Structure 1
Amino acid sequence: MAIKFSKHFSYTRTPIAIFIISVLAVSFFIIKKNSQASIAPTQISTCASASCTLTIPRHKIFMSQNDPNDLWVVFENGRYNNFKKSIDGGLTWTATEPDALTVEAYLDYHASLDGDSQDNIYVTNPGSGNVHFRKARAPGETASDFNSQILLTSSFIPSGVSTRSNVLVQDANNIWVFARTSTHAVGNVRYFRSTDGGLTFSQEGWVSNTGYDNVRIGSLLIEGQLAVVIWYSDDSSSTGWGYKYFIWNGSQFVANADSSIVWGSKIYRREYSMSYVNGVFHVVYEDATGHLIHSWKSYNNGTGSWNQSNIETLPYNPAEWSPSFSRHGSDLYLFYVRQETSTSGNNNLYYRKWNNQAHTWSAAVAITSDGLSNHYPNGPALVNPTANFIPVIFSGPGNTIKYTTIDTNPSGDTTAPAAISNLARSNSTTTTVTLTWTAPGDDNNSGTATSYDLRHSTSSITSANWGSATPASGEPAPQIAGTSQSMTISGLSANTTYYFAIKTNDEANNVSGLSNVVSVTTESESAPPTGDITPPAAVTDLVAQ
């Protein structure tokens, strides 16, 4: 009996053959589980222009949430060969047969890519009076995996007008495409929705009828809800520029109280990215005066004000920063271009990591160092949380696509702090709660951890809804394992039951399990007396003795 080992050859089932196959299978499993965490920038294809991995603010790489070694990329590449896959974490890019597939001829650099939990891949591409959409069914490796192309049309998109779009997967059934026109106010901004996994699109409507002929659109999920971030540019005004977002309420897109992220100045440019992690909404963008800017806030159901800070400032106006976010578990990474001199094209790529406790970015770490025409770094919007690397593609010199990885655990430390088990209330008032706990260690209950992440909610906190709980601010720095620590959380409402839980992080970004959950009801405010409100009569016969 013959045993089929691959589609190219077979072996007779003998003890030696079985032993060889077993060794190869085990070796393959080890390689799959331990793909290189750090790969130097390597060319994986040529492309048709210097913008083939253009973000602003879409993604062109998807990482499987089932196996972090499975990666798909889409890019502009002349007439053919614009879709590739790797099954070994980017060591090779030959999983597609032939070497690369064609989504459609002359795929534009404005193409957008996303995938679902079953590793089905979805691609949109600009059209003339329409948006091109195509689905690649898992495993996305051969031309037969592609469904036929769908043209998304709307009475609000004039015939012959070029479109731009991005695709966002809510789940395996709900696929959303957001579209704008490139030069007409009509049609800015529309959505198309599929509820059958991209087979048909039965819903269409407004994200916002902006009235602007120059906008950009980006999309993300906030606590499972669709959100669209729009950049506005009004060439006739010096004040009608900025960023706003809109959220899906179950039947339509609406503006929240905090929907205006930044507004009013002509300096805000179109390069931006957005993400949501640990209950915090992040938007990064650039201006025309040399600044790379970060706005963020706790989501809080769309209420509250935005924080803003400069990440970097250059003494000249760079041609681009091209920022792009990637979320890895509870960590947020920012990739961007830094123009090293006043000469356009003298670029290197960098990344930073957000510290959610300190509300600061790490120091910049160089991805490239050659100072050549490196552009448009692009990682997955969502990195597999089990991965020990973040895959990044970018446009390299000579119209090439390059691939590299960022090691998420360069120290090699894989031991997380122990979960806190004795979180407890020590005091409470009408607006504050004081909690105590015993510090765990860096490695289980040994050493000193790096930071705490304490959160509260008016519903019981679990691992599943941890991301929607409200983060505290100003947590104390962890002390050596076994030390008693405390924190007072303020700004609470009176006579309200709150649930509290905490996680601990170490320097290698290992995160502890969820602590025990504590419920505390804040004190009631003193109520005015009720019932008898008549005071005693005044004494009128008081005399001296």
Structure 2
Amino acid sequence: MKKIYFFKFLSVAIFILSFSIIGGSVLADTLSVPIRIAVSTASDAPTLGIPRWKAYMLETDPNKFWACYANGSSTLGNISYTGDGGRTWNTNEIQIDPAGYLDMHCSVFGRNGNMYMTWPGRQNSIVFRKFKAPIHSNADGDAIVPIAGTSSRHRSNIMVQITGRIWLFTRLSYASPSENVLYNYSDNEGASWTHGTAFATNSNSVRIGSMPYAGGRPALVVLYLNDPRGFEYYLWNGRSFEARPDHSIYGVNMGSTRAFTHNVVNDTTFHLIFGLGNSLHHMWKNYANGTGNWNHEIIDGSVTTNNNEWYPISTVRGNDLYLFYCKKSSSDNATSMIYYKKWSQQSQTWTEPVLVSTDAANRYNRDPNTCFSVPANSPYVPVIWRCGTGPYDIFFDKVMVASDTVQASVEYNLGIASSPEMGGTTDPPAGSYYYPESTRVNIAASAAAGYEFADWSGDVENPAASTTTVLMSSDKTVKANFVAISDLSGSIHGTVQIDSGGLRGVYVDLLDLYGGLVKRATTDIDGSYAMDSLSPGSYIVDLNVPLGFDPIGSPSTLVTIADTGIQVDYKLRDITTGNVADYWWWRRQIEALRDNPSADVGITIDDIDNFGSSIFDHFYQRTDQYAMRIDDATYADNPARALTFNDIAGFWLDSDNDSTSARIRKHLLACLLNVASNRLSQNTVVSVDGATASQAITYLAGRYAGGDVNDATIWYNLSLIHTQQLIAAGVIPLSTPNIMYKPDSTIHNGSLANEFGLAQNRPNPFNPVTTIRYAVPAPGHVSLEVFDLLGRKVRTLVDDMKSAGIYRIEWDGRDEGNQPVSSGVYFYKLRAGSVIQTRKMLLLK
């Protein structure tokens, strides 16, 4: 859609807020009508401040504004942006975390068209990521960078100096005081970091904020919970953070109240606002070389709004401080509304509060947020917030503070598609792109095997040419049309066998040569599968190898379909030992390892971590209806991540929760640990009437997830599985699908065409194992090697003669000496004769 030229005032429900005299005339601050811009499925607080900003307005064009928020799904976005001051918003999903899930503690800071983020990542560490201009799609995001010495239990805050130095501060509540507070800074856009102690707080529970202050230096704001020090700040002097004479802002024990905001006007006037009891407090002072006393005033009150329920957030435009906060009109949380006040640094006074959340749907409003500062030429001040009880609506509103004289840059949207999708590809690839007005965009179409290019649909200069141009004079959509060379259709069929016969419930995928899923079949009770009505062309038949089995031969087969049926059979070997261990055995080994991590008990802490990762990958991360998402059994935390040794030890050894629900999860986890460690085969019969372990686990876990959390028969029957006793006949319906758990393995990046092809590794980033796939169209010698950033060879994965086919191999993040390599970027190189292809991958620990 076109990015509009000017803001247009909405003609409904305009509220007069405050007045200022400009050139003898009176201009009023006005409030537009709230609009819903996104939905969040995060468990709570998707726009939480305290005191992290989650938005950014471009310094040179205030029409461009980005709002960030948490989400609890792998398919939903975390960034919404507008190029026309909030009139229109993007429709594509932009994900701060490539996995989609994002923690509510994300902190955002923008400068010079780039956005910088930090949050507790799925890599079990605090992570950093930069999005570079224009921030219109996932492709604008750089790789995630883990911050050394942190865990996913840490919390972080980010700011960027005008010099470009990025500061990232971390804390760890209810832990060692040595973790509170640490700093990390980078002078090269996050490529490397310098670490240190920001200030030795000697406290095990703090909350932190940060901002440029007094010459643009980083100021660290610390709230000491349950401590008479209350609020203090520390300022960077070029070598360390020091406590200036005025470092004590509000020396009062705040208890566990922790909702506050801070900001700075004209680099020299420090403001701190927080809720305490039924009052909203304001502290402020001029820097004065770090001397003098703080001013204190109460700026609002409510007998039904208490402590953290105020949720203040602030931004600055010119000489004015804008404050957004919550206030309830009764004890009912549904009456929590968003209000706005403005502080004038010139008159040193506040306006009266004005209601912002005026939409009829605005109930249960909370967590207003905005950007750190607004350009002085911006005609509006933005605010976002969440409302509802979940899933949460994300609303946007703006305070209009001046006449609109800022012209938006003109950009148009170009949508590119292929029809049919498997008929060919385009350059640029299919998707949505923005280009400045009058740009001539070159586009090209390439037909896949079995297809030929027909023409372009849409406004292109030469519809009949596979390579042509588009003039961006308006929003445009173009489509490359392909036709099958033959009208004939074919089919594929085959079996998946183990020594004892056919294996039921295994996925066999048909992929196009770019790894896209064309069709999926599931083996029946005899291990047979079939796919028909297939268009002519070349495909990859890909077996999803179940947990506990290994393929005999390659699990991927390159085929060309014409008018005849093709048979592709697979043989699997059961690699489980049958040495099933009960819950109590696992518990004893974990307890022994926690007491002595080097104890020789048959398993290691790393083993348990790897089993947790395998459970997460194979059971939690499925994308179909059989995904098993049960906390403390298949995942931990929000956003979800793999269980670790410490998670399992804490749940099994430290928790005094012995409820039926807890017992179900403990015994389910014991069964899954046996599967993940190749002790228990999913095909093992576990009931008198012949139900398999896979059927039993699927059925019992499904009952729990469906709400039967207090049925003791569930944990009892799960215990029979890991104690190798048979479940009674009739308990497990034999119609339960024999689901052979495995995450989807289709490749969405990289080409495996009818030439030497090297696909992007998956997953990427990875820890500790990733899979690399490559295609060999003709017999010959093939090598696949891994190198570090300095070009030093780390590992040879393949060095052998290969026949034509599709291959895949795993790299476990170890070198030739079987030693784990460090986190970082690595290259893998495929060589066959004179053909060399190289790709990049990222190992995160």
Q: Which amino acid aligns with 1:144?
A: A
Asked whether 1:320 is paired with 2:315, we answer no
Give distance in 2, aligned partners of 1:384 and 1:129: 36
What's the CA shift string for 1:59-91, capped at 9, x where partnerless?
Answer: 111100011111112211113311222111122
2:401 pairs, out of 388, 400, 408, with: 408
Contact 1:284–1:323 at 8 Å: present in 2 too?
yes
Contact 1:38–1:389 at 8 Å: present in 2 too?
no
Asked whether 1:169 is paired with 2:160, we answer yes
Asked whether 1:224 is paired with 2:216, we answer yes
Contact 1:161–1:183 at 8 Å: present in 2 too?
no
Give distance in 2, aligned partners of 1:413 and 1:110: 34
Contact 1:35–1:89 at 8 Å: present in 2 too?
no
Give distance in 2, aligned partners of 1:333 and 1:267: 27
Give distance in 2, aligned partners of 1:194 and 1:357: 36
Q: Which residue in the other structure is 2:328 paired with?
A: 339
What's the CA shift string for 1:326-353, capped at 9, x where partnerless?
Answer: 1011211111001111223421111111
Secondary structure (helix, strand or coil) at the match of 2:179 reads coil
Cα 1:132/1:366, change in 2 over 3 Å: same
Give distance in 2, aligned partners of 1:413 and 1:104: 37
Q: Percent identity?
A: 34
What's the CA shift string for 1:378-397, capped at 9, x where partnerless?
Answer: 11111121111111110111
2:65 pairs, out of 66, 71, 87, with: 71
What's the CA shift string for 1:353-398, capped at 9, x where partnerless?
Answer: 1122442211111101456101011111111211111111101114
Asked whether 1:179 is paired with 2:170, we answer yes
Q: Which residue in the other structure is 2:204 paired with?
A: 213
Asked whether 1:93 is paired with 2:77, we answer no
Asked whether 1:284 is paired with 2:273, we answer yes
Asked whether 1:149 is paired with 2:144, we answer yes
Asked whether 1:61 is paired with 2:55, we answer yes
Q: Which residue in the other structure is 1:249 paired with?
A: 237
Contact 2:304–2:328 at 8 Å: present in 1 too?
no
Contact 2:265–2:316 at 8 Å: present in 1 too?
yes
- Aligned runs of 1:85-484 on 2, under 5 Å? 85-94=81-90, 98-105=92-99, 106-117=101-112, 119-127=113-121, 130-154=125-149, 157=150, 162-171=153-162, 173-184=164-175, 185-201=177-193, 203-222=194-213, 223-234=215-226, 239-267=227-255, 269-278=257-266, 279-287=268-276, 289-318=277-306, 320-369=309-358, 370=360, 372-397=363-388, 398=390, 399-409=392-402
Secondary structure (helix, strand or coil) at the match of 1:394 reads strand
Offset at residue 211 of structure 1 (A):
1.9
Offset at residue 317 of structure 1 (A):
4.8
Q: Which amino acid aligns with 1:364?
A: P
Secondary structure (helix, strand or coil) at the match of 1:305 reads coil
Bigger helix share = 2
Give distance in 1, aligned partners of 2:125 and 2:240: 22
Contact 2:225–2:253 at 8 Å: present in 1 too?
no
Offset at residue 316 of structure 1 (A):
4.0
Contact 1:45–1:401 at 8 Å: present in 2 too?
yes
Cα 1:219/1:64, change in 2 over 3 Å: same
Q: Which residue in the other structure is 2:5 paired with?
A: 30
Cα 1:317/1:35, change in 2 over 3 Å: closer
Q: Which amino acid aligns with 1:361?
A: W
Secondary structure (helix, strand or coil) at the match of 1:282 reads strand
Cα 1:226/1:35, change in 2 over 3 Å: farther
> Paired residues, what number?
373
Q: Which amino acid aligns with 1:400?
A: D
Q: Which residue in the other structure is 1:466 paired with?
A: none
Secondary structure (helix, strand or coil) at the match of 2:5 reads helix
Secondary structure (helix, strand or coil) at the match of 2:309 reads coil
Q: Which residue in the other structure is 1:457 paired with?
A: none
Give distance in 1, aligned partners of 2:145 and 2:310: 34
- Greater RCO (CA < 8 Å, at least 6 residues apart): 1
Give distance in 1, aligned partners of 2:245 and 2:291: 6
Secondary structure (helix, strand or coil) at the match of 2:191 reads coil
Secondary structure (helix, strand or coil) at the match of 1:109 reads coil
Q: Which residue in the other structure is 2:644 paired with?
A: none
Q: Which amino acid aligns with 1:250?
A: G
Offset at residue 167 of structure 1 (A):
1.0
Q: Which amino acid aligns with 2:223?
A: W
Offset at residue 404 of structure 1 (A):
0.9
Secondary structure (helix, strand or coil) at the match of 1:204 reads strand
Offset at residue 186 of structure 1 (A):
2.9
Contact 1:161–1:182 at 8 Å: present in 2 too?
no
Cα 1:284/1:210, change in 2 over 3 Å: same
Offset at residue 307 of structure 1 (A):
0.7
Q: Which residue in the other structure is 1:518 paired with?
A: none
Give distance in 2, aligned partners of 1:115 and 1:401: 20
2:78 pairs, out of 75, 82, 94, with: 82
Give distance in 2, aligned partners of 1:116 and 1:52: 23
Cα 1:100/1:39, change in 2 over 3 Å: farther
2:46 pairs, out of 52, 62, 82, with: 52
Give distance in 1, aligned partners of 2:65 and 2:257: 31
Give distance in 1, aligned partners of 2:152 and 2:300: 37
Q: Which residue in the other structure is 1:444 paired with?
A: none
Secondary structure (helix, strand or coil) at the match of 1:226 reads strand
Secondary structure (helix, strand or coil) at the match of 2:258 reads strand
Question: What are the ranges of 5 or more consecutive residues in structure 1 without an aligned counterpart?
Answer: 1-5, 7-23, 415-545
Secondary structure (helix, strand or coil) at the match of 1:198 reads coil
Give distance in 1, aligned partners of 2:205 and 2:132: 34
Cα 1:100/1:93, change in 2 over 3 Å: farther
What's the CA shift string for 1:98-144, capped at 9, x where partnerless?
Answer: 34334333210110111112x11111111475211111111111222
Offset at residue 284 of structure 1 (A):
0.5
Question: What are the ranges of 5 or more consecutive residues in structure 2 without an aligned counterpart?
Answer: 11-29, 406-845
Instruction: Normalising by structure 2, report the TM-score.
Output: 0.42
Q: Which amino acid aligns with 2:262?
A: M
Offset at residue 269 of structure 1 (A):
2.1
